[in-house]
């Protein structure tokens, strides 16, 4: 495909107007203000459209689409214990598979091409990611409160099997990884065993860290004054490439540790606000040189996968929290939503519009009254655009969303399956 006469945010997020971007197989093969001599097949008219790298959603639980709006405006523990956990106890592998496909449709609708996925089962995620064409690092998160170690948990064997089956599958597009739910839902024996296994397999790690003030306080009480960041680092969890989600309540020592181990922080600004956890100190993390990416968390605590809206919260919350309007720029914001995720997932050749990079691309409509005038299209993207201005999402050179259509997903069937399964579970819950 050749994107023609399109506006592009280039590898430095500078605006290039009337540009030509050619895609050959799974890669960007041409970028210029001059038309190419070669033929790239279909010509896509980019007039009044913007081409950017597709977004990375760096903390996600896609199958929780069933739970969007199920239990709102409740304190966190009431919400989890009376709504979320009882419902999730009824989810079968196939429920999770269909829920994941539904979530994938939503991520594509919002221009997200890659996800960092953590949920309660791994194999159905792998099936959904393999079939749909999106990029994903995904894991089943482990927890345990007893005397057992990681090697005793059923998840140990399952994860090894899934790693075997999915890691690097689809030409590296999907990767099974390891995940710890959190410090407060595990024992030290489990954390150390998990860290050891991940190191052995050279796989990456995904973990919830320091989401609430209460979590940090309780951890310090349990672990001789250590914060969750310090404790997990000491257990060896960060010895593999790690994505730490949330990271709301951290001090300078924590930030230095995150930087030292090259941990990526996946901040979830809307979810942290909605669950009243607080505001992640993004600007302090960036200042310290930590790689900061953006996650939506699940739609149960967000309640959508609208990455443009998420970028807006990411940006504006920092300004509100620091009382400094210059503390974060549109470029830093777009970087966090694109390239920072690619770097976190060790996809060095992803997350930018650049020759030789994977063709993971999102096209946005610019012909909107709320995008006029156009002093700088990047400013308009970060501060004015709507999430559903997305017209096309492409991953590895393959169109996965275009003008309301999902070439790899039977959206009507998936929607019907999800609705039927949701009603079945509600029926089961009512019968309890």
Which parts of this chain interact with a second copy (CB under 8 A)? 65-66, 68-70, 72-76, 79, 102, 105-106, 109-110, 213, 270, 272-279, 299, 302-306, 309, 312-313, 316-317, 319-320, 322-327, 329-330, 368-370, 372-376, 379-380, 383-384, 386-389, 411, 415, 418-419, 422
Task: Between 187 and 304, name the residue whose CB sits nearer to a second copy.
Answer: 304
Number of H helices, E strands in the chain: 17, 17
* Nearest distance in Å: CB 98, a second copy: 12
Task: Between 239 and 304, name the residue whose CB sits nearer to a second copy.
Answer: 304
* Nearest distance in Å: CB 120, a second copy: 19
Report how far residue 271's alpha carbon sits from residue 84's, in angstroms, rounded to the nearest whole number. 15
Report how far residue 313's alpha carbon sits from residue 307's, in angstroms, rounded to the nearest whole number. 10
- Residue from 193, 99, 109, 191 nearest 425 by CA: 99
- Residue from 48, 85, 128, 115 nearest 429 by CA: 85
* Nearest distance in Å: CB 414, a second copy: 9
H or E segment to which residue 94 belongs:
helix 93-109
Task: Between 125 and 414, name the residue whose CB sits nearer to a second copy.
Answer: 414
* Nearest distance in Å: CB 325, a second copy: 4
* Nearest distance in Å: CB 192, a second copy: 33
Task: Between 116 and 389, name the residue whose CB sits nearer to a second copy.
Answer: 389
Task: Between 239 and 384, name the residue whose CB sits nearer to a second copy.
Answer: 384
* Nearest distance in Å: CB 394, a second copy: 19
- Residue from 212, 192, 209 nearest 200 by CA: 192
* Nearest distance in Å: CB 116, a second copy: 20
Q: Tokens representing 386?
A: 């709507």
Query: Could you give the count of Cα atoms lying within 13 Å of 38 in the half-sphere of its Cβ?
Result: 12
Task: Between 182 and 418, name the residue whose CB sits nearer to a second copy.
Answer: 418
Task: Between 76 and 199, name the residue whose CB sits nearer to a second copy.
Answer: 76
Specify the 3-state DSSP secondary structure of 44. Answer: strand
Task: Between 206 and 246, name the residue whose CB sits nearer to a second copy.
Answer: 246
DSSP result, 183-216: GGGS-HHHHHHHHHHHHHHT--EEEEE--SHHHH
* Nearest distance in Å: CB 73, a second copy: 6
Report how far residue 293's alpha carbon sits from residue 273's, in angstroms, rounded to the nearest whole number. 17
Task: Between 142 and 307, name the residue whose CB sits nearer to a second copy.
Answer: 307
Residue with tokens 């169109």: 399
* Nearest distance in Å: CB 79, a second copy: 8
Report how far residue 16's alpha carbon sits from residue 5's, in angstroms, rounded to the nearest whole number. 10
Q: Are 381 and 370 in contact (CB under 8 A)?
A: no
* Nearest distance in Å: CB 360, a second copy: 21
Q: Are 130 and 168 in contact (CB under 8 A)?
A: no
Q: Are 23 and 1 in contact (CB under 8 A)?
A: yes
Task: Between 173 and 422, name the residue whose CB sits nearer to a second copy.
Answer: 422
Q: Are 101 and 409 in contact (CB under 8 A)?
A: yes
List the beta bridge partners of residue 31.
21
Which residues, at least 6 apart from 122, have a Cβ–Cβ distance to it below 8 Å? 138, 139, 140, 158, 159, 162, 176
Task: Between 355 and 429, name the residue whose CB sits nearer to a second copy.
Answer: 429
Q: Are 203 and 240 in contact (CB under 8 A)?
A: yes
**Torsion of Cα atoms, 178 then 183 then 185 then 189, to 10°:** 70
* Nearest distance in Å: CB 350, a second copy: 25
């Amino acid at each position: 495909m050749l994107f023609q006469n399109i506006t592009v945010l280039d590898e430095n997020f500078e605006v290039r107007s009337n540009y030509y971007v050619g895609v050959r197989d799974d890669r960007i093969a041409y970028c210029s203000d001059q038309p190419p001599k070669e033929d790239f097949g279909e010509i896509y008219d980019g007039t009044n459209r913007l081409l950017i790298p597709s977004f990375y959603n760096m903390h996600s639980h896609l199958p929780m689409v069933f739970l969007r709006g199920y239990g709102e405006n409740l304190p966190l523990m009431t919400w989890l214990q009376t709504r979320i956990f009882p419902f999730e106890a009824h989810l079968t592998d196939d429920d999770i598979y269909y829920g994941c496909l539904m979530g994938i449709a939503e991520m594509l609708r919002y221009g997200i091409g890659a996800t960092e996925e953590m949920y309660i089962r791994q194999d159905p995620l792998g099936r959904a990611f393999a079939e749909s064409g999106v990029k994903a690092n995904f894991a089943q998160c482990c927890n345990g409160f007893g005397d057992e170690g990681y090697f005793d948990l059923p998840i140990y064997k399952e994860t090894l099997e899934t790693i075997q089956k999915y890691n690097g599958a689809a030409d590296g597009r999907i990767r099974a990884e390891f995940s710890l739910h959190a410090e407060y839902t595990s024992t030290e024996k489990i954390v150390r065993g998990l860290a050891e296994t991940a190191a052995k397999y050279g796989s990456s790690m995904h973990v919830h860290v320091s989401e609430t003030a209460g979590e940090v306080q309780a951890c310090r009480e349990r672990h001789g004054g250590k914060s969750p960041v310090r404790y997990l680092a000491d257990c060896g969890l960060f010895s593999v490439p790690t994505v730490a989600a949330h990271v709301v309540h951290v001090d300078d020592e924590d930030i230095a540790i995150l930087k030292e181990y090259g941990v990526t922080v996946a901040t979830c600004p809307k979810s942290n606000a909605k669950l009243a956890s607080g505001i992640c100190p993004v600007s302090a993390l960036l200042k310290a040189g930590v790689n900061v990416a953006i996650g939506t968390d699940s739609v149960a605590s967000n309640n959508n996968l609208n990455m443009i809206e998420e970028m807006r919260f990411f940006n504006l919350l920092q300004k509100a929290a620091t009382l400094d309007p210059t503390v974060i720029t549109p470029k830093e914001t777009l970087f966090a939503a694109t390239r920072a995720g690619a770097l976190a997932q060790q996809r060095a050749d992803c997350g930018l519009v650049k020759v030789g990079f994977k063709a993971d691309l999102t096209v946005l409509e610019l012909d909107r009254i709320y995008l006029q005038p156009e002093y700088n299209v990047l400013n308009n993207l970060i501060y004015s655009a709507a999430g559903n201005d997305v017209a096309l999402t492409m991953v590895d050179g393959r169109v996965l969303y275009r003008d309301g259509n999902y070439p790899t997903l039977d959206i009507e069937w998936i929607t019907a399956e999800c609705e039927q399964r949701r009603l079945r579970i509600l029926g089961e819950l009512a019968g309890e």
